[in-house]
Each structure stands twice: as structure tokens, then as C-alpha cells.
């Protein structure tokens, strides 16, 4: 019968219709919208198993009506505001089309590269407890946030978000080649294969030629390191998913007018930066950030295990971009969701845990509630 109807469509003026089902969930999108409010930023939530985007929300949005205003000045101002060549245009989906300094969220990448290389374990190295670190080839020291003294082994320095230790890890423990290859293994310097137009690559420098101070900055998510919120959500998802980065997508399936599935979005592995054992180590490290680190009292969700990492990225304008990346799932089981939140241009004293952390918690709570978690 279906074949006859399809054949008949060739001879009558009747459009073939169907339905596209997306991975995006309206309830999670609404919470992301409400939590971000009128603060410029983005929220990305991914299904860890499939790479399906559960939420992709960016602010600001826009109103097209002023473009047709009879007031030339108002119309011109509206056009300039929407100019897609501007990195600030709301026509650009910041979640996957704009990049930002990832700040300390990138320490998850640096730590992961260290663990996967075998040069970093939960017990070694033991980084010195200091407030500054001076890389080779410079006399200019790199400081910890607020001049704090920190150091120790992997779990401790990730929980404390210790700049000096991770800078030293990138420069002395790993070195340029290992860091460049490790960042690429997570998808940096490549356009992610999301089924949406205009996605951009996240950047990690590839040539440090006699510039180890630049490697120190890059290893803590500053300098020339930049990332989309989507990329950082993929980092969290890789740690949660036994080391696999799934190809991100928003299309779930297409059904024809009779309700039959005619196309499913393939669920593919894009990258495998970590072995299952290395991913398990980094999961424990990220759980520690919530239990006794910079997400203590902010990231926990009763009845679930949450691992995460905060970031407070300096913009050079006396403001910070505040970040958090997290994963969540039932205790002792594989995590279900990964999230990245960035809130742009916050005060110089604001932190990722204080600003982005509560947003991530509320959004993940909704994701879990909506699927029966």
C-alpha cells in the first residue's frame, strides 16, 4: 500500500510530508534559557552515550522587527547588531560558532593527556606547593588565582584548580609535542562533525618553537587556546564515556507521513582520546572537584554522582568569562549527561563555580528529571 501511494504521488499535486525528530529537549532548553537569563553566554548538554545534543542555548537572541522599521537609524542599528561578521552577533550560535578562552576547564584536557601518556598518575608527579611558577625562557612568573599557594598530585591540583601545577605539567612533564597531539585527540584544531551549519574549530597552538611560556599559558586554557562550549562539553563527555568522543548531532530521526522511520542519525565515535582506564582516573579526579574542590556546595545533585571542573578565564578587559563543565549519572554507573556552561564578561571577582555552577546544576537536574532519572 505504501509503495502504491508513493507511486501515486508522482501523478497528483500532493507534497510528500514527514516529521523530523530532534535530540533537543524543550524542557531542558527552557531551563537553560531561564537560568542564563539576559547574561551573554551558552549552555550545551550532550547525551554521553550517543552524542545527541539535549540542549544548545545561547543568549542574546534577537527580534527581526526593527530591521523593517520606518526609522532609518533604528533599522541601521538593528542591522549592525545582527551583523553576522561580528563575533558578538546573536545570529551566531555561540554554543558551536564562537570560541572563548576555556580557562581552567582546559586542565581536564591537560590532565587527561598526562594520564593517557603514562607520565601522570594519581600518585606522581608531586608538584611543589607554590604561588607562582616561572617557565623556562622567561623571568615572568605565572600565578595562581588570587595568589593562592597550591600543589600536590593530580586529584589535589585539579580540585584546587592549581595554575602553577598544570602549567608545569604542560611544560616539563609533557612538553609541546605531547600536548599538541593530546589536544588534537580530543578534537581541537578540527571542525566537529555536528549536523548544523557553520561550526568552527577550537584552537590549541601547534608551534611553540622556543616559546615554552606560551605552552604554560595554553596548558591552563589561556594564551592562544580557545574553545567552543560544544568542544568543552565533548571533553566532559569523553571522560564520562570511557574515553570516547561521540559525533555530536541534533537530528534523531526522520519519519514519513505514515509514521515509518526513513532515516536515523548514525551514532558514531568521532575520537578516542583516552583508554577506559585513563578515563576512569579522570572521572575520579573530576568527582573530587565536586566533593572537595571548586564545585563543593555548588555542583552536587542528591542521589547522583557529579564530576566537573570550573574555569575563570581572563578576557583582558577587567572581566572574566566564567565556565563549568560537568557530567552526571547514577552512583557507581556510567554518567548519562555532560554539560558545558559559559557566562561571558562577568566581574573580575566572579568565578566559574559561583556563576556557571548553579546554572549547570539546574539544567542537569531537569535533564535527569525529564528522563525518569
DSSP readout, 144-184?
Answer: -GGG--EEESHHHHHHHT-HHHHHHIIIIII-HHHHHHHHH
Average confidence (pLDDT) over 114-141 = 98
CA-based angle 205:209:213, to the nearest 5? 70
Domains, the chain? 25-61+91-370 (3.40.710.10)
Q: How far apart are the first and last CA of the chain?
A: 41
The confidence score (pLDDT) of residue 18 equals: 74
pLDDT in tens, 194-215: 999 999 999 999 999 889 999 9
Residue 255 — pLDDT band, cuts 50, 70, 90? confident
The pTM of the full predicted model, rounded to 2 decimals, is: 0.89
Number of H helices and number of E strands within the chain? 12, 14
Q: Cα–Cα distance between 317 and 313 in angstroms, integer?
A: 11
Distance CA 95, CA 56 (A): 6
**What is the mean predicted confidence (pLDDT) over 240-266?**
87
Task: Look at residue 274 and give its three-state secondary structure.
Answer: coil
Q: Which DSSP helix (H) or strand (E) runs through 127?
A: strand 127-130
Residue range 303-348, pLDDT digits in tens = 999 999 999 988 777 888 999 999 999 999 999 999 999 999 888 8
Catalytic residue among 58, 104, 112, 202: 104
What's the pLDDT at 4? Answer: 47
Residue 367: closest CA among 324, 326, 333: 326
For residue 106, which of 245, 242, 225 has the smallest C-alpha distance? Answer: 225
Return phi, psi of residue 129, to 5°: -85, 105
Mean pLDDT, range 86-98, rounded to an integer: 77
Task: Quickly state the pLDDT bin for 167 (edges 50, 70, 90).
Answer: very high
**Could you tell me if 319 and 348 are in contact, meaning their C-beta atoms sit under 8 angstroms apart?**
yes
Q: Does residue 6 have a pLDDT over 80? A: no
Q: What is the DSSP letter of 227?
A: B
Query: Kindly report the CA angle at 107 between 102 and 108, in degrees rounded to 5?
Result: 100
Consecutive H or E run containing 4? helix 2-8
58 is catalytic: no
pLDDT the model gives residue 98 = 94
Residues 303, 283 contacting (CB under 8 angstroms): no
pLDDT higher than threshold 90 for residue 126:
yes
Best CA proximity match to 142, nearest among 130, 152, 151: 130
| pLDDT-derived band at 8, boundaries 50, 70, 90 | low
What percent of the chain has pLDDT above 90?
Answer: 75
277 vs 12, residue with greater confidence:
277
Amino acid at each position: 500500500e505504501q509503495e502504491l501511494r508513493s507511486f501515486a504521488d508522482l501523478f497528483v499535486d500532493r507534497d510528500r510530508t514527514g516529521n523530523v525528530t530532534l535530540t533537543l529537549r524543550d524542557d531542558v532548553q527552557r531551563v537553560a534559557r531561564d537560568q542564563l537569563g539576559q547574561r551573554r553566554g551558552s549552555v550545551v548538554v550532550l547525551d554521553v552515550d550517543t552524542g545527541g545534543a539535549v540542549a544548545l542555548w545561547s543568549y542574546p537572541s534577537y527580534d527581526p522587527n526593527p530591521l523593517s522599521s520606518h526609522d532609518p537609524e533604528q533599522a541601521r542599528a538593528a542591522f549592525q547588531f545582527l551583523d553576522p561578521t561580528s563575533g558578538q552577533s546573536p545570529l551566531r550560535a555561540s554554543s558551536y560558532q564562537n570560541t572563548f578562552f576555556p580557562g581552567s576547564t582546559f586542565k581536564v584536557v591537560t590532565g587527561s593527556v598526562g594520564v593517557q601518556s603514562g607520565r601522570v598518575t594519581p600518585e606522581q608527579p608531586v608538584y611543589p606547593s607554590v604561588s607562582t611558577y616561572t617557565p623556562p625562557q622567561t623571568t615572568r612568573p605565572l600565578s595562581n588565582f588570587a595568589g593562592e599557594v597550591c600543589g600536590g598530585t593530580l586529584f589535589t591540583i585539579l580540585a584546587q584548580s592549581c595554575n602553577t601545577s598544570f602549567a608545569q605539567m604542560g611544560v616539563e612533564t609533557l612538553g609541546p609535542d605531547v600536548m599538541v597531539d593530546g589536544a588534537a585527540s580530543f578534537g581541537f584544531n578540527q571542525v566537529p562533525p555536528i549536523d548544523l551549519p557553520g561550526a568552527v574549530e577550537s584552537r590549541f597552538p601547534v608551534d611553540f618553537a622556543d616559546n615554552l611560556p606560551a605552552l604554560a599559558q595554553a596548558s591552563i586554557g589561556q594564551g592562544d587556546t580557545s574553545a567552543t562550549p560544544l568542544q568543552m562539553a565533548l571533553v566532559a563527555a569523553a571522560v564520562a564515556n570511557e574515553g570516547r568522543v561521540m559525533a555530536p548531532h541534533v537530528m534523531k530521526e526522520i519519519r514519513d507521513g505514515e509514521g515509518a522511520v526513513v532515516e536515523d542519525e548514525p551514532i558514531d565515535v568521532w575520537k578516542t582520546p583516552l583508554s577506559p582506564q585513563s578515563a576512569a582516573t579522570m572521572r575520579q579526579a573530576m568527582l573530587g572537584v565536586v566533593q572537595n574542590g571548586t564545585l563543593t556546595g555548588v555542583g552536587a545533585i542528591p542521589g547522583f554522582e557529579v564530576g566537573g571542573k570550573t574555569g575563570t578565564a581572563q578576557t583582558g578587559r577587567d572581566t572574566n568569562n566564567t565556565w563549568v563543565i560537568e557530567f552526571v549519572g547514577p552512583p557507581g554507573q556510567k554518567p548519562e549527561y555532560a554539560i558545558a556552561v559559559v557566562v561571558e564578561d562577568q566581574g573580575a571577582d566572579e568565578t566559574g563555580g559561583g556563576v556557571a555552577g548553579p546554572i549547570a546544576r539546574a539544567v542537569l537536574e531537569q535533564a535527569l528529571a525529564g528522563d525518569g532519572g
